[in-house]
């Protein structure tokens, strides 16, 4: 069995805990887009300490994902996985032997938990998103996606839970005070997913075993949780309140699959 919990999601910072529940629980932290003090505080709210984290996976170099990865890793001696490009894009900092290279399609076997990173179109150097499994339950984590490629869709098949970017409402983005270049960037092929695009992905991978959908990385300016819940509920034929929205400050509750 797996359980997972967003510790916070949005352009102010992203971090998601995934735990394989066994005799000896195994925990990975996906992204560290917060200051170290904040991250430790939110781990505490989840009933954990930094020492309880067995591995860190960083999806890409943007500050809302990379955050305190290096200081967390060095201070608590936690191994970190990221792509070569992500590491290079931040100036190839030294991780004192704790850094491991993640590659598209190459399974990272952490014992009780296996991660499968996959390449995504996003305006970073070598961004990866991932699925996590303990051998039976499968969780897909997908934020910061410009558009859904066949490669992405292949990896999201048969997930029992999805944490999926629902970044913006197309109309709200068009009407927003964002400068034109930023509107083009956010809404472009290498930017962020609109609610309707996230709903299309959900419809395509929907199956009876899909138990939870967590909407993540909502834009504070160009989206509303209620809009996301309506669009995603329609895609899944469920009630809007069944769609969980990860908040910037306290993320989501624990969800088990």
Binding site for Zn ion (CB under 5 A): 62, 64, 144
Cβ atoms 120, 95 nearer than 8 A: no
Cβ-closest position to Zn ion: 62
Cβ atoms 126, 85 nearer than 8 A: yes
Taking the CB of residue 157, how many other CB atoms lie within 10 A of it? 12
Which among 187, 198, 30, 195 is positioned nearest to 123, based on CA atoms? Answer: 187
Please give the C-alpha separations between residue 177 and each of 117, 185, 220, in angstroms, as whole numbers.
Answer: 35, 14, 13
DSSP strands (E only) in 153-219 = 161-165, 212-216
Taking the CB of residue 171, how many other CB atoms lie within 10 A of it? 11
Closest to Zn ion by CB, 128 vs 210, is 128
Closest to Zn ion by CB, 79 vs 248, is 248
Closest to Zn ion by CB, 62 vs 87, is 62
The distance of closest approach from Cβ of residue 48 to Zn ion in the complex, given in angstroms and rounded to an integer, is 23
> Which DSSP helix (H) or strand (E) runs through 128?
strand 128-133
Closest to Zn ion by CB, 5 vs 62, is 62
* Torsions phi, psi for 220 (to 5 deg): -70, -30
The distance of closest approach from Cβ of residue 40 to Zn ion in the complex, given in angstroms and rounded to an integer, is 21
Cβ atoms 32, 66 nearer than 8 A: yes
The distance of closest approach from Cβ of residue 248 to Zn ion in the complex, given in angstroms and rounded to an integer, is 11
Please give the C-alpha separations between residue 63 and each of 13, 49, 215, in angstroms, as whole numbers.
Answer: 8, 23, 20
The distance of closest approach from Cβ of residue 123 to Zn ion in the complex, given in angstroms and rounded to an integer, is 7
The distance of closest approach from Cβ of residue 61 to Zn ion in the complex, given in angstroms and rounded to an integer, is 8
Closest to Zn ion by CB, 133 vs 222, is 222
Closest to Zn ion by CB, 144 vs 169, is 144
Closest to Zn ion by CB, 64 vs 134, is 64
The distance of closest approach from Cβ of residue 165 to Zn ion in the complex, given in angstroms and rounded to an integer, is 8
Tokens standing for residue 207: 């199956």
Which among 192, 201, 111, 100 is positioned nearest to 154, based on CA atoms? Answer: 201
Q: Angle of helix 195-205 relative to helix 225-236, nearest 10 degrees?
A: 30
The distance of closest approach from Cβ of residue 77 to Zn ion in the complex, given in angstroms and rounded to an integer, is 27
């Amino acid at each position: 069995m797996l359980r997972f919990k967003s510790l916070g999601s949005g352009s102010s910072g992203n971090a998601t805990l995934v735990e394989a529940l066994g005799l000896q629980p195994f925990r990975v932290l996906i992204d560290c887009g917060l200051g170290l003090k904040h991250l430790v505080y939110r781990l505490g709210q989840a009933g954990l300490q930094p020492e309880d984290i067995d591995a860190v996976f960083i999806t890409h170099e943007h500050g809302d994902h990379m955050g305190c990865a290096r200081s967390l890793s060095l201070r608590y001696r936690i191994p970190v996985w990221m792509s070569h490009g992500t590491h290079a894009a931040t100036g190839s900092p030294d991780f004192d032997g704790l850094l491991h290279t993640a590659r598209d399609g190459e399974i990272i076997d952490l014992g009780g938990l296996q991660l499968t990173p996959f390449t995504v179109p996003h305006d970073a150097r070598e961004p990866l998103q991932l699925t996590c499994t303990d051998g039976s339950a499968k969780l897909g984590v997908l934020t910061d996606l410009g558009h859904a490629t066949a490669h992405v869709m292949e990896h999201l098949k048969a997930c029992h839970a999805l944490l999926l970017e629902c970044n913006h409402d197309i109309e709200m983005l068009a009407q927003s005070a964002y400068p034109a270049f930023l509107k083009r960037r956010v809404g472009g092929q290498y930017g962020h997913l609109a609610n309707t695009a996230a709903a299309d992905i959900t419809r395509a991978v929907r199956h009876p075993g899909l138990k939870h959908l967590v909407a993540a990385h909502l834009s504070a300016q160009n989206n509303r949780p209620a809009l996301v819940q309506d669009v995603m509920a329609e895609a899944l034929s469920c009630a809007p309140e069944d769609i969980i929205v990860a908040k910037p400050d306290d993320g989501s509750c624990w969800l088990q699959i």
